[in-house]
Amino acid sequence: MRLEIDNLSRTYGTQRALDGLSLALPEDIRCLALIGPSGGGKSTLLRHIGGLEVPETGHIRVNGEELPRDEEGLRAYRKRNGFLFQSYNLFPHLTALENITLPLIHVHQHTRESAREIASKQLERFGLAAHGEKYPSQLSGGQQQRVALIRAIAANPGILFLDEPTAALDPEMTVEVLELIRELIRDGQQILLCTHEMGFAQAVSDRIAFVASGRIVECAPAQQLFEKPVDETVRRFLSRVLEFR
Ligand code: ADP
Ligand code: MG
Closest residue by Cα to residue 110 from 101, 99, 120, 98: 101
DSSP state of 63: T
Pocket-testing residue among 11, 15, 196, 210, ligand 1, by greatest number of atoms within 8 A of Cβ:
15
What's the pLDDT at 216? 98
pLDDT above 90 (res 11): yes
66 alpha carbon to ligand 2 midpoint, in Å?
24
pLDDT above 80 (res 245): no
Classified as helix, coil or strand, 156 is coil
Q: Could you tell me the domains of the chain?
A: 1-81+188-245 (3.40.50.300), 82-156 (no CATH)
Classified as helix, coil or strand, 90 is coil
Distances in Å between the Cα of 206 and the Cα atoms of 25, 30, 63, 153, 216 are 11, 7, 16, 20, 16
- pTM equals 0.96
Which residues are 23's β-sheet partners?
5
| CB of 43 sitting under 6 A from ligand 1 | yes
Classified as helix, coil or strand, 137 is helix
| CB of 12 sitting under 6 A from ligand 1 | yes
- pLDDT tens profile 105-163: 999 999 999 999 999 999 999 999 999 999 999 999 999 999 999 999 999 999 999 99
CA–CA distance, 149 with 163 (Å, rounded to integer): 12
What's the pLDDT at 86? 87
pLDDT band per the 50, 70, 90 thresholds, residue 97: very high
42 alpha carbon to ligand 2 midpoint, in Å?
5
User: What is the residue with the minimal CA distance to atom 21 of ligand 1?
Assistant: 12
Nearest 5 degrees, angle CA 31-CA 41-CA 47?
Answer: 60
24 alpha carbon to ligand 2 midpoint, in Å?
21
pLDDT above 80 (res 210): yes
What's the pLDDT at 87? 80
Q: Give long-range contacts, CB 8 A cutoff, 24+ apart: 36-42.
A: 36/210, 36/211, 36/212, 36/217, 36/237, 37/212, 37/237, 40/211, 40/212, 40/213, 40/214, 41/17, 41/211, 41/212, 41/213, 41/214, 41/215, 42/163, 42/194, 42/211
| CB of 39 sitting under 6 A from ligand 1 | yes
| CB of 46 sitting under 6 A from ligand 1 | no
